[in-house]
C-alpha cells in the first residue's frame, strides 16, 4: 500500500481527499456540538434568570433573621433546596466570580441528578444557591404565584415599574395587561378569575405561557409570563452555515492538493519553454517517484540526449570546417604558384575565377564556424557576456565596413536619439552586419538602418528598395542554407547562413527576428527586437 501511494499521485489525491472529508466532518460535528452546548447553557441561563432574580429580590426585601423561614417555605412550595451561603466559603474561579459580580446566574449540572443555581445578593457578600432535580409544573405554578404575590404588595399603578426590576435581562417575556389574555377558552378564564395559575401550551411552537389574575382588578391586573420557548438543538440557519463551512474547507483542501500538482507541472512547462528557447542545459527537479517524478526523469533524459546529439553535431561541423581550411590554403597556394608561372591571359582568367571560388569557400567556412560556435554556446548553456552597446556607433561601423564594397548603393543611418542596448557587442554587430550585407545584395539604390529605443525593448530595422521577400517565404529565409526561387537567388551572392546566424544571435539574447515589407522603400524590412534586461550590478559599478 505504501508503495502504491508513493508511485500513484491520483491515488494519493483520492486518499487525501477522503481523509480530508472525514476530518472535516469530524471538525464540523465537533463544532456543531460545541455551539449546541453553548446555546444550551445560554438557554438554561435565560430560564434561570427570572426565578433567581425573583427569589433574590424577595430575600433582599426581608430582614436577615427571616431568611431561613422564608427559604424553608419556598422549598416546600417549589420543590427545591434554597440556601444563602457566604461567598468566601465557596471555591469559585475568577470568571465565575466575575459573572456573579455582573449579576449573572451560575448553572452547574450535578452529575445527571439536577442543577445547582447561584446568584449574588446585591450589596452583600452572600449568594443564593438553589438545587433542583428537574423543572416541573409545580415549580412553574409556584414561581408564577410568587411573582404575583410580590407584585400584589404594591398599588396597581406601581406594578409595572416593580415588574421591570425583575424583567430586565431575563430571557422570559413578562407583561402586565389591563384585560384578560386572548386565546383562552371559557374554562381557563373561570380558573383565571378564581385566582388560579393558567398554563397554556403552544404545540406548534413547542412553548408555553402562564397567566395569573392579580387582586384589585382594572389596571395592570393580569400577569402574563412567556411564551417560554423550548430549546431548539440546531436551527436550519446553523446547519446551512456548517454546510457552507464544510464546503469551504473541502474547497481549500482540494485547492492545496491540486496547487502542488499544478506547481510541478508549471515547472515542467517552464523547463520545456527554456529548452525550446535553446537552453539545452535546463533540467527538471525530480521530487518523488510518482508519475510526475517519472515524467520529470524522462524529460531530463530527453533533454540530455538532445543536448548530446546537438553537441556532437556542432563538434563535427566545427571539426570539418577547421579541416577544410588546410586544403583550401594549399589550393590557394598552388593557384598563386601557377599564376606566377604563366602569362597566358586565358589561364590567368581561369586562375582568377578559381581564386574567387576559393575566397567564397573560405567565407563559407567562416560562416559555418560562426554558426557552429553559436550553436555550441546554446548546447552547453553558456550565457553571453553582455555589456552596454552604443547602437548608433555600431551601425556607423557597419556602414563604414560595407559602403566601399557597394559603391553603387546609398547606405544610410536614419536620424534619431542615442540608443543603448545590453548585449554581446561582437555578436550583435555581426547580426546587424549580416542584415545590412543581405540588404545590399538585393537593394537597387538604397539601404536604410533605423534605431528605436523603447522602455523595455530596442528595435533595429534594416530596409532596402529591392524586390522584397514574398509573404509565404518569410519564415523560410531564416533556415540554414535556405534559398528562394525568385529575386533572392544564388546569383545575388551569399551562403545561406547569414540570416540563420542573425536568428541564433537574437535567440541567444532572448530577442526575435522578423521580416516584412518596408513601408517607405517598398522592399524588405528586417527587424531585430532586443529585450532590455536590468543592468548587472557589476556593469553598473564599472560605469559609475
CA distance linking residue 435 with residue 491, whole number of Å:
18
263-286 tens-digit pLDDT: 888 888 888 888 876 677 788 888
**Residue 515 grid cell:** 521580416
CA-based nearest residue to 117, from 102, 101, 128: 128
Max Cα–Cα distance, the chain, nearest Å: 157
CATH of domain 383-543: 3.30.565.10
CA-based nearest residue to 150, from 271, 43, 62, 80: 62
Task: Give the 3-state secondary structure of residue 132.
Answer: strand
CATH of domain 276-382: 1.10.287.130
63-117 tens-digit pLDDT: 877 888 888 888 888 888 888 888 887 888 888 888 888 878 888 877 767 888 8
Q: What is the structure's pLDDT at 33?
A: 76
Show the 3-state SS of 50-112. HHHHHHHHHHHHCCHHHHHHHHHHHHHHHCCEEEEEEHHHCCCCHHHHHHHHCCCCEEEECCC
Looking at 381-497, list the stretches that DSSP marks H as alpha helix, in order from N- to C-terminal side. 391-402, 425-442
CA distance linking residue 249 with residue 138, whole number of Å:
49
The DSSP annotation for 2-26 comes to HHHHHH-HHHHHHHHHHHHHHHHHH
The Cα-based distances of 308 to 216, 338, 490, 501, 507 in angstroms read 111, 46, 34, 21, 20
- Residue ranges of the chain with pLDDT lower than 50? 5, 379-381, 485-492, 539
Backbone angles phi, psi at 284, to 5 degrees: -100, 135
Q: In what order do the strands lie in the sheet with 106-109?
A: 81-86, 126-132, 115-120, 106-109
Q: Is 491 exposed, middle or buried (0-12, 13-18, 19+ CB in 10 A)?
A: exposed
Based on its alpha-carbon atoms, the radius of gyration of the chain, rounded to whole angstroms, reads: 50
Task: Give the 3-state secondary structure of residue 128.
Answer: strand
* Angle at the Cα of 32 from the Cα atoms of 29 and 34, rounded to 5 degrees: 105
CA distance linking residue 368 with residue 376, whole number of Å:
12
Confirm whether 276-382 and 383-543 share one CATH topology: no
Q: Where are the beta strands (DSSP E) in 91-173?
A: 106-109, 115-120, 126-132
CA distance linking residue 544 with residue 538, whole number of Å:
10
Task: Give the 3-state secondary structure of residue 525.
Answer: strand
Task: Give the 3-state secondary structure of residue 318.
Answer: helix
CA distance linking residue 163 with residue 176, whole number of Å:
8
455-503 tens-digit pLDDT: 788 999 999 998 888 887 877 787 776 665 444 444 445 556 778 788 8
Q: What is the structure's pLDDT at 448?
A: 92
Q: What is the structure's pLDDT at 449?
A: 92
Q: What is the structure's pLDDT at 16?
A: 74
Cell 559599478 locates to 541
pTM of the complete model beyond 0.85: no
- Interacting residues of 143 by C-beta distance below 8 A, sequence separation 6+: 50, 51, 54, 78
Q: Between 3.40.33, 3.30.2010, 3.30.450, 3.30.70, what CATH number should domain 1-135 receive?
A: 3.30.450
The full set of domain ranges for the chain reads 1-135, 138-233, 276-382, 383-543
Q: How many residues does the chain have?
A: 544
**CA 542 remoteness from chain centre:** 40
Q: What separation, in Å, do the N-terminal and C-terminal C-alpha atoms of the chain show? A: 63
Q: What is the structure's pLDDT at 10?
A: 59
Q: What is the structure's pLDDT at 231?
A: 62
Peptide bond into 227 cis (omega under 30): yes
Q: What is the structure's pLDDT at 485?
A: 47
Task: Give the 3-state secondary structure of residue 22.
Answer: helix
Q: Where are the beta strands (DSSP E) in 431-542?
A: 446-454, 457-464, 512-517, 524-531
294-318 tens-digit pLDDT: 888 888 888 888 878 877 776 776 6
CA-based nearest residue to 213, from 195, 191, 186: 195
Amino acid at each position: 500500500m505504501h508503495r502504491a501511494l508513493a508511485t500513484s499521485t491520483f491515488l494519493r489525491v483520492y486518499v487525501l481527499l477522503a481523509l480530508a472529508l472525514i476530518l472535516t466532518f469530524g471538525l464540523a460535528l465537533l463544532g456543531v456540538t460545541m455551539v449546541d452546548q453553548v446555546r444550551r447553557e445560554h438557554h438554561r441561563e435565560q430560564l434561570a434568570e427570572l426565578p433567581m432574580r425573583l427569589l433574590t429580590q424577595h430575600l433582599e426585601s426581608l430582614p436577615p433573621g427571616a431568611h431561613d423561614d422564608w427559604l424553608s417555605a419556598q422549598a416546600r412550595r417549589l420543590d427545591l433546596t434554597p440556601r444563602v451561603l457566604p461567598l468566601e466559603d465557596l471555591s469559585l474561579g475568577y470568571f465565575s466570580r466575575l459573572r456573579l459580580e455582573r449579576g449573572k446566574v451560575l448553572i452547574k449540572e450535578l452529575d445527571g441528578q439536577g442543577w445547582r443555581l447561584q446568584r449574588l445578593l446585591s450589596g452583600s457578600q452572600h449568594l443564593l444557591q438553589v438545587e433542583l432535580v428537574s423543572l416541573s409544573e409545580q415549580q412553574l405554578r409556584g414561581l408564577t404565584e410568587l411573582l404575583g404575590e410580590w407584585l400584589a404588595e404594591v398599588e396597581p399603578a406601581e406594578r409595572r415599574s416593580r415588574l421591570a426590576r425583575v424583567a430586565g435581562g431575563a430571557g422570559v417575556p413578562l407583561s402586565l395587561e389591563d384585560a384578560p389574555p386572548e386565546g383562552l377558552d371559557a374554562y381557563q378564564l373561570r380558573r383565571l378569575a378564581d385566582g388560579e395559575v393558567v398554563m397554556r401550551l403552544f404545540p406548534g411552537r413547542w412553548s408555553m405561557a402562564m397567566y395569573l389574575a392579580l387582586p384589585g382588578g382594572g389596571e395592570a391586573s393580569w400577569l402574563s409570563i412567556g411564551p417560554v420557548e423550548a430549546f431548539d438543538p440546531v436551527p436550519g440557519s446553523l446547519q446551512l452555515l456548517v454546510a457552507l463551512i464544510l464546503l469551504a474547507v473541502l474547497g481549500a483542501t482540494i485547492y492545496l492538493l491540486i496547487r502542488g500538482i499544478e506547481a510541478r507541472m508549471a515547472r515542467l512547462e517552464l523547463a520545456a519553454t527554456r529548452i525550446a528557447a535553446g537552453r539545452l542545459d535546463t533540467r527538471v527537479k525530480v521530487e518523488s517517484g510518482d508519475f510526475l517524478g517519472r515524467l520529470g526523469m524522462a524529460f531530463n533524459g530527453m533533454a540530455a540526449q538532445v543536448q548530446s546529439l546537438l553537441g556532437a553535431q556542432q563538434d563535427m561541423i566545427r571539426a570539418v570546417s577547421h579541416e577544410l581550411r588546410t586544403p583550401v590554403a594549399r589550393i590557394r597556394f598552388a593557384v598563386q604558384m601557377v599564376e606566377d608561372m604563366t602569362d597566358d591571359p586565358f589561364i590567368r582568367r581561369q586562375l582568377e575565377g578559381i581564386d574567387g571560388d576559393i575566397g567564397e569557400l573560405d567565407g563559407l567556412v567562416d560562416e559555418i564556424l560562426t554558426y557552429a560556435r553559436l550553436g555550441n554556446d546554446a548546447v552547453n548553456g553558456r550565457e553571453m557576456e553582455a555589456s552596454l552597446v552604443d547602437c548608433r556607433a555600431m551601425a556607423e561601423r557597419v556602414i563604414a565596413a560595407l559602403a566601399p564594397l557597394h559603391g553603387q548603393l546609398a547606405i544610410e543611418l536614419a536620424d534619431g536619439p542615442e540608443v543603448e542596448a545590453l548585449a554581446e557587442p561582437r555578436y550583435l554587430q555581426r547580426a546587424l552586419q549580416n542584415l545590412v550585407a543581405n540588404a545590399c545584395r538585393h537593394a537597387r539604390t538604397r539601404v536604410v538602418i533605423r534605431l528605436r529605443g523603447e522602455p523595455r525593448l530596442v528595435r533595429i530595422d534594416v530596409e532596402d528598395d529591392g524586390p522584397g521577400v514574398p509573404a509565404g517565404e518569410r519564415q523560410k529565409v531564416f533556415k540554414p542554407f535556405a534559398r528562394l526561387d525568385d529575386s533572392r537567388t544564388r546569383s545575388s551572392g551569399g551562403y545561406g547562413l547569414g540570416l540563420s546566424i542573425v536568428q541564433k544571435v537574437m535567440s541567444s539574447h532572448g530577442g526575435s527576428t522578423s521580416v516584412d515589407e518596408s513601408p517607405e522603400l517598398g522592399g524588405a524590412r528586417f527587424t531585430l527586437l532586443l529585450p532590455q534586461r536590468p543592468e548587472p550590478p557589476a556593469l553598473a559599478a564599472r560605469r559609475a
